[in-house]
């Protein structure tokens, strides 16, 4: 293998394929090490790579293949809703399904609150800040707060908000407790909580279970622990007219929808399937005061 970009790229793609990994990781990592866009990379395929860069690139490839380190942790970023977010081992890597959750929230805000000046939103369990920051940037009428139990995650989210120019309030706390303790009420609650059942962790890809933070993955014995906790806390935090939006694990939507219907009598609860045809999102629209009489 020479030091020409196209030869290094071909070798890396073959190496990944032989080891059962996605071939496109070669391009992502090489662009990262060369600090090039896709167009720049393909415009310079016949250029030579310096030995130092080549060695660093190969070292990262080996980490991905032999240690199963996610490519996003090697490059330090992931795309979400058209923006680049910093990620590290303290936060989950944002997924395309969560982009669908955000898009669904933005659509429902227009329908549920057609005439409004400012709406209060809280994103619970923010991780990298992808949900909160995207909502703040996509709709300037949203006053966005976010809660996470891990200071390390909040640090990453704060850095992302600063880089992307988003105004978001960051609070360290457990679920909705910081709002309950101060009597704060919100119009919208969004969360992508930990929802993987404990027994399923052993079967996850080593890329996930060996590197992404387990505190952001495991949702108790059946994966529903956090949703159950939400049902006792949400009524103390949401306004009479409100929107609740959850991402859920595959096969959990009916159970989560049932919890919401039981908690908020008369709410319009909707299960939405993702681009892969999996039950992935549950939305509850609270339209009147009737549910609040039981609180």
Contacts of 188 (CB under 8 A, 6+ apart): 105, 109, 119, 120, 121, 122, 142, 242, 243, 244, 245
> What are φ and ψ of residue 19, in 5° steps?
-105, 15
Burial of 49 (0-12, 13-18, 19+ CB in 10 A): buried
User: 80 in helix, strand or coil?
Assistant: strand
- The annotation status of 129 as a binding-site residue, yes or no, is yes
Q: Is 192 annotated as a binding residue?
A: yes
> Which distant-in-sequence residues (6+ apart) come within 8 Å of 234 by Cβ?
176, 189, 244, 263, 264
194 is in an annotated binding site: yes
CA pair distance 175, 265, nearest whole angstrom: 22
Q: Is 162 annotated as a binding residue?
A: no
Binding residues for S-adenosyl-L-methionine: 125-129, 148, 192
Going by the annotation, the residues of the binding site are 125-129, 148, 192-195
Annotated binding site for substrate: 192-195
């Amino acid at each position: 293998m020479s030091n020409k970009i196209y030869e290094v790229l071909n070798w890396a793609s073959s190496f990944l394929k032989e080891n059962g990994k996605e071939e496109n990781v070669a391009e992502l990592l090489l662009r990262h090490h060369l600090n090039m866009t896709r167009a720049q990379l393909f415009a310079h395929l016949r250029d030579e790579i310096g030995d130092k860069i080549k060695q660093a690139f190969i070292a990262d490839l080996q980490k991905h293949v032999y240690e199963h380190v996610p490519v996003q942790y090697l490059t330090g970023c992931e795309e979400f809703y058209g923006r680049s977010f910093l990620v590290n081992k303290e936060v989950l890597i944002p997924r395309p399904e969560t982009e669908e959750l955000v898009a669904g929230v933005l659509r429902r805000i227009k329908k549920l609150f057609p005439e409004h000046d400012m709406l209060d939103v809280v994103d619970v369990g923010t991780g990298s800040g992808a949900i909160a920051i995207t909502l703040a940037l996509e709709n300037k009428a949203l006053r966005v707060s976010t809660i996470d139990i891990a200071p390390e995650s909040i640090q990453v989210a704060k850095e992302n908000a600063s880089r992307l120019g988003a105004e978001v309030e960051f609070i360290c706390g457990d679920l909705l407790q910081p709002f309950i303790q101060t009597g704060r009420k919100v119009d919208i609650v969004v969360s992508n909580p930990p929802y993987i059942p404990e027994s399923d962790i052993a079967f996850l890809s080593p890329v996930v279970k060996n590197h992404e933070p387990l505190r952001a993955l495991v949702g108790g014995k059946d994966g529903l622990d956090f949703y159950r906790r939400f049902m006792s806390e949400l009524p103390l935090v949401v306004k009479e007219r409100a929107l609740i939006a959850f991402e859920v694990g595959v096969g959990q939507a009916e159970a989560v929808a049932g919890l919401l219907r039981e908690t908020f009598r008369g709410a319009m609860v909707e299960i939405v399937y993702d681009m892969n045809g999996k039950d992935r999102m549950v939305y509850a629209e609270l339209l009147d005061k009737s549910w609040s009489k039981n609180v």
